Structure 1
Amino acid sequence: GAGAGAGAGAGAGAPFDPKTRYKTNTKDLWYSPIFQRLTDMEPPKMPAGGFCAEEMGLGKTVELLSLVLCNPAPPLESPSPSPPPAAPGAAAGSAAAAEPATTSTYLSSGITGKCRDPSKLVKSRATLVVCAVSLVGQWVAEAKAKLANADVLNIHMYHGTNRCRDPEKLAKYDLVVTTYATLASDYGGKRKGKNAADAPSTADDNDLFPPLGQIQWHRVVLDESHTVKNPRVAHTMACTALKSNLRWCMSGTPINTDVTDLQGQAQFLRFSPLDEKAYYEPVRSAIMASSSSHSYEPMHGDYYARFLSIMRRVVVRHSKKQTTADGSDLLTLPEKDEEEVAVTLPPSERKKYTELYTTAKKAYDLFRRQGPECVARNYLQISSLLLPLRRMCSGGTLSEKDLSLDAHAEARRRRLEEIQSGVSRSPKEKKAAAKVAPVPPPEPGTECPICMDALENPLRTKCSHWFCEECIDGVISSLPPGAARKCPLCRSLIKPEELAPPMTDAEMKAAATAAEREAAEKEAKKAEKAKASATDSEVPRPPAYVGEAKLKCLMDELKKMQKRDPSSKALVFSQFTSTIEWLKQRLSEEGYGYRYINGAMPLRQRAKAIEAFQGDPPTTVFLLSIRASNCGINLTAADHVFILEPALNPSLDDQAIGRAWRMGQTRKVTVKRMYVKDSVEERILELVKSRKQDGSG
């Protein structure tokens, strides 16, 4: 059947239909086909745009480029009082058919949101695309590759330290592409002393932030819009503050883990009531009830039916398995095989794993004995107990710190005493927000302990722990008002205004220069000492553990792949830097050409790595961080996908597979998920399968 259509404005079939307005002697009444009753409440404004939620690999980027071309903004000097007809060939259920192409209608309807002085906005006919840093170059490359005339769109990348900051110049382009991090940096947020946890959902303080917030865009598109699922972090508030006539959320997985993932996206779309937190609790309960009974009927309450009715009117969604009205396939893709590869640990690795598991189990039992509420409140600490076990299963060269379960044992003990005694520490009153001096950057390969991936926009707490900006902001903003804000690892009190960014290269150079004189004397003393003991060779300290069982299995799989077809290429996804570093060395030793990207890699290096893999036959393997590199990237040169660790969120796997199994793929795709038998990885696989069977995954 056809995909779900997208609504734009309160038209026919919308939650409140202006065509069914009834006047009485005292008030106006509206009939809602969704709520099935007359009401005198103010009709909520519907979004001008919606969700483009095509399944991964169905060409959302191409669809958006088509939308820009076939539904352009009217000339700025001509307000176009009535909307033009739909673009030729725009089918029902497509973004082009759903989107009204008039500026004046939505400028007057309040869709642009609050603005202190709208007259200062620079009017533009351009489309602004906000995406992950890894996709900026791909947007430009896709436009050049797919457009018959590459010059038909004037495209600009707004990114980097030397980016153009003149709104007048930016407004003259047809398509401007920027990143969430860049937008959040311009917006200010926490850097200006704003506490994300206490900020309102619509941040008026930075309403006209330069330069992107000073432009009245024709259209704003959030690529991989699930990035803004948390409505109270800086980059979500920045996206919400943008002024535009039309707004689109693009994501194959708008709901990653929970229906509340929609709140931040709905906030950006100006979509009531889905932009309100209170709306989701009854919806979540209704969905859980429907899922547990394997029935999707409204017997579990009207909330579920209402939610579906609302979403059908604002979502464009097609899947790879969908068929047209005549029964033919909507899209024909090559065959895809999926296989689970079990890995058995050798006795030495099994012994170490058992030791770690026993220690972790004892720590977990301390929390469990305090009851389920204690477990729920300390979810992050309990999850951290699994990290060493998962690292060990993945493999690579690991240090004592990587495998340590006792590093925060004292903090856990104090926390449990606090719980048992009923004492809760309250945070001190906030001091005036002071500019936090940058600190030396984290060591290469440092991972965020929350998302367990390479750091992206890192911030350091006073207790010297590094986190991704989005991760630590999400933890802080999820706490109830007045709750003590504590480091997720050591439980030390933290203040949002004291989170320190890493030094830039220039700041590092300046700091190094300033310290040269003091260091000179120390270096001289070290040189004398080294000269005196030149004959004494230092023995390097061996690593605490080297796990190779799974990685050797992967190397065997790569050899089999090459033997079957020398032209085959593989994507290898892992959550851990230690695993990828081991593979880098071993792949070179075995003669494999490879490329690698992670969340901390600069834009140009990412683009070069992707281009080399796609176009260079000797480059056989692409190593990727599953969280930082699994969205939006087109890697159809690969016909094999290896996922080295099972993910609790199955959408991460789907996104990873979608890098190869997508439009443009001409070969059969083989997917292999690797896991260690009789380990936490096997239990995670079983959990994910049970969730999918229950319909809640």
Structure 2
Amino acid sequence: LYYYHGELRNVWLELGLRRNITVKEDPQPPGLALKLLPFQKEGLHWMRVQEKSAYKGGILADEMGMGKTIQTLALIMTDPNAGPNLVVAPTVALMQWKSEIEKYTGDALKVYLFHGASRSTDHKELSKYNVILTSYNLVESVYRKQQTGYRRKNGIVKEDSGLHKVMYHRVILDEAHNIKDRTSNTAKAVFALKTKYKLCLSGTPLQNRIGELFSLLRFLEIDPFAYYYCRKCPCKQLQWKFSNNRSCDSCGCSPMSHISFFNYECLKPIQRDGNTGAGKIAYNNIRHLLKHIMLRRTKNEREDDLGLPNKVVRIRKDKFSEEELDLYDSIFSDGKRKFETYVSQGVVLNNYANIFTLITRMRQMADHPDLVLRKHIEDGQVTLVCGICDEEAEEAIKSKCHHTYCRDCVQRYVSGFCGNSAPECPKCHIPLVIDLAAPAIEPDSYQPKRTSIVNRIDMTNWRSSTKIEALCHELYRLRRPYQTTKSIVFSQFTSMLQLIEWRLNHAGFKTVMLQGSMSPAQRDATIKYFMTHVEVEVFLVSLKAGGVALNLIEANHVFLMEPWWNPSVEWQAADRIHRIGQTRVCTVTRMVVDDSIESRIIELQEKKTRMIEATVNADQKAMERLTADDMRFLFQN
């Protein structure tokens, strides 16, 4: 390697001789309406200097809730007309980016939301905007249609991606850990974007293992760590190019002759030796590298600047009822028997998906038995439940946004809006479009798998669960006669949220829900409705759809309905309320059924958290993918 690539011999020595950026405060950019805090001015200075360096960008890794978005807007406002800036963010964050740009920069920036069926595909038109907002899903979709196309009657059709034709001044990845898998189509689509400068924003840049760092280095094109090198010739490539899977497209050498310098110097020693010997050296080298490309500040370090209130994290433990325990024991025994069969046959890892399904069933059982049993009404028929009265819909009609109502309920609801005020959909709060004279929907026309669990099971004699009742108890305790206390409830299972919604509505709580199937407009309307309507007490949020990039400081209580393998996912969700602008003490309550698999997940999570904080051995035992030992631990009595 060093014979053909002598420049690699002194990489770490040269890195050690480079000066770190001196922390200074930049002046407030003209045109930015929000006054920056001292540490945010330091962040602005770091980003500007970083773009002038050889790296042409970096990673802003401030802890969640410290204003990474406003620091990025300040960077854009230092030279607003330099060229188009592309912001790639989770879908749930797009409208928030748009509203913050409009709120804090006025008319200084021309913004385009690249989302929805009516989006422009003309790269010349896109180049006219100062800021283009889009999602990771859309970047992947348009790139895939350009590279591999999609099937039509006359064969494979390919479409040029307007996003990938534009030469951007700056590409900004919000929640950049979305590209942590270097081999994913999303990562490849992001790598293909053309730009002068690059910036990654993430409060959790490393979620599971050190190997995820490579994707960020590859996006930033950090030389030499983002490159592949041939050990038989001077070939150096940014991409792994082996079209025939046998020889390099550039030099003709075999894949075995090519190595990733990052893997060779950093990842392999850590995997082999852990935090000792060569692994310890590699770990120190990574820390030196990150000092040059990443800026990380925590709330504890900057508490004087932030002035944030305390955050209290507590675990509420409950026990199953007798009926729930009998059912859980039955499912657990069946799962343990299957797992022990896989162990005895030596095929545990070959049946990873089957075992994970068994574990998921036990986790769902801890939420509510109906998530596992799915007791459908006879003949698979669904019952349509009205979104206004929460009872079986009589003469059910459906709105354009796919919500079902009793004809009489929605007629009375619409008639209550007089003058120029337009009615909102009671479920997703976008303008309501519904044909009141439409023929009633036949339940048979609904596909059971695609409708709410409330429609799929018989709710006439429905019984709640230990965990749902524990949540109700907590929410009742928060009620005050002269003020509204707002709370956010996170769950990984949309069906669980639907059951919670039904139960809370019947208990007198006003709720709204955010889930992954919503459009950006529906998400934005739902978030604004929760923030601006004092009577709405509970926001039900799908952890995957809304666990990142939201600013919900109107609430000061978070309830996490299930523990997750990866603690950083829970940290992200909890910090939706503990961020700049919050003035009240924040409470995060983790709901756990004590005599279930959840208590073991908590132990496993704590063990992995200690592992992350103490060493990088977690690289070998990624939290997203349970090891055989982890699974054995979960199936212990």
TM-score, normalisation: structure 1: 0.61
1:673 corresponds to 2:590: yes
1:130 corresponds to 2:88: yes
State which of 76, 85, 100 in structure 2 corresponds to 1:142: 100
Question: Aligned partners of 1:176 and 1:639: how far apart in 2?
Answer: 32
Question: Aligned partners of 1:266 and 1:209: how far apart in 2?
Answer: 27
State which of 293, 306, 309 in structure 1 corresponds to 2:288: 309
State which of 210, 225, 234 in structure 2 corresponds to 1:273: 225
Residue 309 of structure 2 contacts residue 582 of structure 2 at CA under 8 Å; is this kept in 1? yes
Q: Residues 397 and 573 from structure 1, CA distance in 2 versus in 1: closer, same or farther, beyond 3 angstroms?
A: same
User: What's the offset of the Cα at 1:299?
Assistant: 7.0
Q: Residues 243 and 676 from structure 1, CA distance in 2 versus in 1: closer, same or farther, beyond 3 angstroms?
A: same
Residue 191 of structure 2 contacts residue 218 of structure 2 at CA under 8 Å; is this kept in 1? yes
State which of 457, 461, 467 in structure 2 corresponds to 1:550: 467
User: What's the offset of the Cα at 1:209?
Assistant: 4.0
Q: What does 1:269-418 align with in structure 2 at a 5 Å threshold?
A: 269-271=220-222, 272-274=224-226, 278=260, 279-280=262-263, 283-284=266-267, 300-323=279-302, 329-371=304-346, 374-395=347-368, 397-398=370-371, 400=373
User: What's the offset of the Cα at 1:658?
Assistant: 1.0
Residue 168 of structure 2 contacts residue 194 of structure 2 at CA under 8 Å; is this kept in 1? yes
Partner of 2:56: 48
Amino acid at match of 2:180: K
1:60 corresponds to 2:71: no
Question: Aligned partners of 1:287 and 1:561: how far apart in 2?
Answer: 48
Residue 95 of structure 2 contacts residue 524 of structure 2 at CA under 8 Å; is this kept in 1? yes
User: What's the offset of the Cα at 1:153?
Assistant: 0.9
User: What's the offset of the Cα at 1:576?
Assistant: 1.1
Partner of 2:187: 236
Question: Aligned partners of 1:189 and 1:228: how far apart in 2?
Answer: 19
Residue 367 of structure 1 contacts residue 375 of structure 1 at CA under 8 Å; is this kept in 2? yes
Partner of 1:253: 204
The secondary structure found in structure 1 opposite 2:300 is coil
CA RMSD in angstroms, aligned pairs only:
3.5
Residue 15 of structure 2 contacts residue 289 of structure 2 at CA under 8 Å; is this kept in 1? no
> What do the CA deviations read for 1:480-518 (whole angstroms, capped 9, x no partner)?
xxxxxxxxxxxxxxxxxxxxxxxxxxxxxxxxxxxxxxx
User: What's the offset of the Cα at 1:597?
Assistant: 0.8
Partner of 1:649: 566
Question: Aligned partners of 1:58 and 1:127: how far apart in 2?
Answer: 22
The secondary structure found in structure 2 opposite 1:145 is helix
Amino acid at match of 1:555: C
> What do the CA deviations read for 1:22-54 (whole angstroms, capped 9, x no partner)?
xxxx9997883624799xxxxxx9531011111
The secondary structure found in structure 1 opposite 2:59 is strand
> What do the CA deviations read for 1:337-378 (whole angstroms, capped 9, x no partner)?
11100011110100000000000001111121233xx32343
> What do the CA deviations read for 1:603-635 (whole angstroms, capped 9, x no partner)?
111000000111111111000111221010111
User: What's the offset of the Cα at 1:400?
Assistant: 3.1
The secondary structure found in structure 1 opposite 2:125 is helix
User: What's the offset of the Cα at 1:401?
Assistant: 5.5
Please list every run of 5 or more consecutive structure 2 residues that lacks an aligned counterpart in the other structure.
Answer: 17-52, 152-156, 229-258, 377-383, 386-443, 446-456, 624-637
The secondary structure found in structure 1 opposite 2:107 is helix
1:578 corresponds to 2:492: no
The secondary structure found in structure 2 opposite 1:670 is strand
State which of 480, 484, 490 in structure 2 corresponds to 1:563: 480
Q: Residues 153 and 362 from structure 1, CA distance in 2 versus in 1: closer, same or farther, beyond 3 angstroms?
A: same
User: What's the offset of the Cα at 1:308?
Assistant: 1.2
> What do the CA deviations read for 1:497-551 (whole angstroms, capped 9, x no partner)?
xxxxxxxxxxxxxxxxxxxxxxxxx99xxxxxxxxxxxxxxxx878999551000
Question: Aligned partners of 1:28 and 1:596: how far apart in 2?
Answer: 58
Larger relative helix fraction: 2
The secondary structure found in structure 1 opposite 2:537 is strand
User: What's the offset of the Cα at 1:586?
Assistant: 1.3
Q: Residues 286 and 676 from structure 1, CA distance in 2 versus in 1: closer, same or farther, beyond 3 angstroms?
A: farther
Amino acid at match of 1:674: M
User: What's the offset of the Cα at 1:145?
Assistant: 2.5
Q: Residues 329 and 280 from structure 1, CA distance in 2 versus in 1: closer, same or farther, beyond 3 angstroms?
A: farther
Q: Residues 287 and 615 from structure 1, CA distance in 2 versus in 1: closer, same or farther, beyond 3 angstroms?
A: farther
Question: Aligned partners of 2:494 and 2:8: how far apart in 1?
Answer: 57
| Worse-matched range after superposition: 261-270 or 183-192 | 183-192
Partner of 1:34: 12
Q: Residues 569 and 542 from structure 1, CA distance in 2 versus in 1: closer, same or farther, beyond 3 angstroms?
A: closer
Residue 145 of structure 2 contacts residue 160 of structure 2 at CA under 8 Å; is this kept in 1? no
The secondary structure found in structure 1 opposite 2:191 is helix
Q: Residues 542 and 569 from structure 1, CA distance in 2 versus in 1: closer, same or farther, beyond 3 angstroms?
A: closer
Amino acid at match of 1:255: L
Amino acid at match of 1:239: V
Q: Residues 286 and 637 from structure 1, CA distance in 2 versus in 1: closer, same or farther, beyond 3 angstroms?
A: farther
User: What's the offset of the Cα at 1:189?
Assistant: 5.4
Q: Residues 30 and 395 from structure 1, CA distance in 2 versus in 1: closer, same or farther, beyond 3 angstroms?
A: closer
Residue 478 of structure 2 contacts residue 485 of structure 2 at CA under 8 Å; is this kept in 1? yes
Q: Residues 545 and 646 from structure 1, CA distance in 2 versus in 1: closer, same or farther, beyond 3 angstroms?
A: farther
Question: Aligned partners of 1:565 and 1:286: how far apart in 2?
Answer: 61
Residue 397 of structure 1 contacts residue 579 of structure 1 at CA under 8 Å; is this kept in 2? no
User: What's the offset of the Cα at 1:235?
Assistant: 2.0
The secondary structure found in structure 1 opposite 2:480 is helix
State which of 130, 148, 158 in structure 2 corresponds to 1:192: 148
Amino acid at match of 1:34: W
Partner of 2:109: 153
Amino acid at match of 2:324: E
The secondary structure found in structure 2 opposite 1:329 is helix
| Worse-matched range after superposition: 183-192 or 636-645 | 183-192
The secondary structure found in structure 1 opposite 2:544 is coil
Question: Aligned partners of 2:161 and 2:146: how far apart in 1?
Answer: 16
Partner of 2:412: none
State which of 521, 541, 545 in structure 2 corresponds to 1:624: 541
1:589 corresponds to 2:562: no
The secondary structure found in structure 1 opposite 2:373 is coil
The secondary structure found in structure 1 opposite 2:172 is strand
> What do the CA deviations read for 1:359-404 (whole angstroms, capped 9, x no partner)?
0001111121233xx323432221111111110101263353699x
Identity across the alignment (%): 29
Q: Residues 49 and 345 from structure 1, CA distance in 2 versus in 1: closer, same or farther, beyond 3 angstroms?
A: same
Residue 400 of structure 1 contacts residue 543 of structure 1 at CA under 8 Å; is this kept in 2? no
The secondary structure found in structure 2 opposite 1:260 is helix
Question: Aligned partners of 2:506 and 2:278: how far apart in 1?
Answer: 61
> What do the CA deviations read for 1:202-232 (whole angstroms, capped 9, x no partner)?
xxx99x9421111110000111111111222
Amino acid at match of 1:630: G
Q: Residues 636 and 56 from structure 1, CA distance in 2 versus in 1: closer, same or farther, beyond 3 angstroms?
A: same
Q: Residues 686 and 564 from structure 1, CA distance in 2 versus in 1: closer, same or farther, beyond 3 angstroms?
A: farther
Residue 80 of structure 2 contacts residue 130 of structure 2 at CA under 8 Å; is this kept in 1? no
User: What's the offset of the Cα at 1:565?
Assistant: 7.3
User: What's the offset of the Cα at 1:274?
Assistant: 4.4
Residue 514 of structure 2 contacts residue 542 of structure 2 at CA under 8 Å; is this kept in 1? yes
1:176 corresponds to 2:132: yes
Question: Aligned partners of 1:255 and 1:598: how far apart in 2?
Answer: 25
The secondary structure found in structure 1 opposite 2:550 is coil
